[in-house]
Amino acid sequence: MKRIALAAVLAAALAAPFAAYPVFLMTALCFAIFACAFNLLVGYAGLLSFGHAAYFGLASYATALAMKQWGATPEVGLLVGTAAGAALGLVFGALAIRRQGIYFAMITLALSQMVFFYALQAKWTGGEDGIQAVPRRVLFGAIDLGSDLTMYYVVLAVFLFCIGVVYRAIHSPFGQVLKAIRENEPRAISLGYNVDRYKLLAFVLSATLAGLGGATKALVTHIASLTDVQWQMSGEVVLMTLVGGLGTVVGPVVGAFVIVTMQNYLASLGEWVLVIQGLIFVVAVLAFRRGIVGEVLAVWQLRRARRLELAAERAALEAAPPR
């Protein structure tokens, strides 16, 4: 059942650029990567980072710089961006994980604001203009990324890779320990796990993937700008993950697509998009904390439990028919 669904989604993904504007799809995919990376930290490790835009945005700038000024090829460009995200994640993560809960969130916010003001003032980031006209060039010496269609498949591949990494990380002993830490940190410590090491690893992994998302986005949109490092961007990824479903694998993907689609197709409504986003946030927090995917899964579980219950009842009836 699951396999068929997966195959159908994959087929749809492969055919999608013929039905919708490829750049829009690619942007959604980049944000999906960002959201998945964020979800790894918040949904699985239980750490709400309110400054994740720093890794996404800095990577975007780094890739743009590499492509435009250093004449790099896209694979090098992506690597530079991802490495930037990872490095920043390592430094910031080491600082932030020393605290928990709301203090952790506030530290990440402070650190990301520093990145924002750095980006605003540094010469190489171009301030208000950003880094424009970022070239895509030729990937691995063979694939010309100039065409949006080709680029789409490359981005899809990157996205699938990221989701694969997240999935493997979650369904691994490492992932189980993270879950344990999230549920009951003191107990995890008492069991002998080096909790800080695990949290840092999760943080760096999350920052790295967020960086990959940002790097890809710079190539897709040909621009790296201050929007990518603003704290509102950090808020948006929280929104995407919350709407899609915290702690589910595909939740953030769904959330990212919903939000990006909304921003794109409701753009003519101007500022009402902000209002709608806020409303979704409020409703999600008050009533749908599990997010779209979370709710769907919950309903599914419920149905399944119901079905099993019915089946058990029937079996019991058959085994001992009423006299």
Partner 1 sequence: MSGAGRLPCPCGAGGGAPFRGNRPKDMFELIGIPPQALFGQLLLGLINGAFYALLSLGLSVIFGLLNVINFTHGAQYMLGAFAAWGLLSYAGLSYWPALILAPIAVAIVGLAIERLFLRRLYGYDHLYGLLLTFGIATILEGVFRQRYGSSGLPYPIPGLLSGGHNLGFMFLPNYRAWVVVVSLAVCLATWFLIERTRLGSYLRAATENAPLVQAFGINVPRMITLTYAFGVGLAGLAGAMAAPIYQVSPLMGSNLIIVVFAVVVIGGMGSIMGSILTGFGLGIIEGFTKVFYPEASNTVVFVIMAIVLLIKPAGLFGQTR
Partner 2 sequence: MKATILKLLGVAAVGFGLAFAPHGVRAQVSGNVVKLGVLSDLSGTYSDTTGNGSVRAAKMAAADFGGKVLGKPIEVISADHQNQPDVGSGIARRWIDEEGVDTIVDVPTSSVALAVQQITKEKNRVFLMSGPASSDLTGKACSPVGIQWTYDTYALAHGTGGALVKQGGDSWFFITADYAFGHALERDTSEAVLAAGGKVLGNVNAPFPSADFSSFLLQAQASKAKVIGLANAGADTINSIKQAEEYGIVSGGQRLAGLLVFNTDIHALGLQAAQGLVITVAYDWDMNDATRAFAKRFMAFPESKGVPPSYIQAGVYTEVTHYLRAIQAAGTDEATAVVAKMREMPINDFMVKNGTIRIDGRVMREMYLAQVKSPAESKYPFDYLKILQTIPRDEAFRPLKDGGCYLVK
Q: And the tokens for 105?
A: 């969130």
Residue ranges in 2-61 that form contacts with partner 1 under rule CB under 8 A: 27, 31, 48
Which lies closer to partner 2 via its Cβ, residue 74 or residue 130? 130
Q: Which does 130 bind (CB under 5 to 8 A by kind): partner 2, partner 1, none?
A: partner 2
Residue ranges in 158-197 that form contacts with partner 1 under rule CB under 8 A: none
Task: Indicate which single residue of 1, 3, 4, 18 sits in contact with partner 2 (rule: CB under 8 A).
Answer: 18
Q: How many CB atoms lie within 10 A of CB 132?
A: 12
Task: Indicate which single residue of 16, 76, 83, 110 sits in contact with partner 1 (rule: CB under 8 A).
Answer: 110
Size of residue set near partner 2 by CB under 8 A: 26
CB of 39 to partner 2, least distance (A): 24
320 secondary structure, DSSP code: S
Q: How many CB atoms lie within 10 A of CB 114?
A: 12
Q: Which does 132 bind (CB under 5 to 8 A by kind): partner 1, partner 2, none?
A: partner 2
Task: Indicate which single residue of 75, 148, 185, 295 sits in contact with partner 2 (rule: CB under 8 A).
Answer: 148
CB of 133 to partner 2, least distance (A): 4
Separation CA 217–CA 57 (nearest Å): 9
Does 279 engage in binding with partner 1 (CB under 8 A)? yes
Q: Which residues contact 152 (CB under 8 A, 6 or more apart)?
A: 16, 17, 22, 25, 26
Q: Which stretch binds partner 2 (CB under 8 A): 38-46, 120-128, 234-242, 284-292?
A: 120-128
Helix, strand, or coil (residue 132): coil
The residues pairing with 131 across neighbouring beta strands, listed in sequence order, are 224
Task: Indicate which single residue of 70, 103, 129, 161 sits in contact with partner 2 (rule: CB under 8 A).
Answer: 129
Task: Indicate which single residue of 75, 83, 235, 295 sits in contact with partner 1 (rule: CB under 8 A).
Answer: 235
Shortest CA distance to 151 belongs to which of 162, 141, 163, 139?
Answer: 139
DSSP labels for 271-302? THHHHHHHHHHHHHHHT-TTHHHHHHHHHHHH
**Which helix (DSSP H) or strand (DSSP E) does residue 138 occupy?**
strand 138-139
Task: Indicate which single residue of 16, 76, 79, 113 sits in contact with partner 1 (rule: CB under 8 A).
Answer: 113
Classify residue 302 by burial, with Cβ atoms within 10 Å: 0-12, 13-18, 19+. Answer: exposed
Does 79 engage in binding with partner 1 (CB under 8 A)? no
Does 198 engage in binding with partner 1 (CB under 8 A)? no
Which lies closer to partner 2 via its Cβ, residue 100 or residue 132? 132
CB 76 within 8 A of CB 143: no
Helix, strand, or coil (residue 139): strand
Separation CA 28–CA 255 (nearest Å): 10
Q: Provide the binding-site residues for partner 1, judged by CB under 8 A.
A: 27, 31, 48, 95, 98-99, 101-103, 105-107, 109-111, 113-114, 117-118, 120-121, 128, 226-227, 230-233, 235-236, 238, 242, 260, 263, 270-282, 284-286, 289
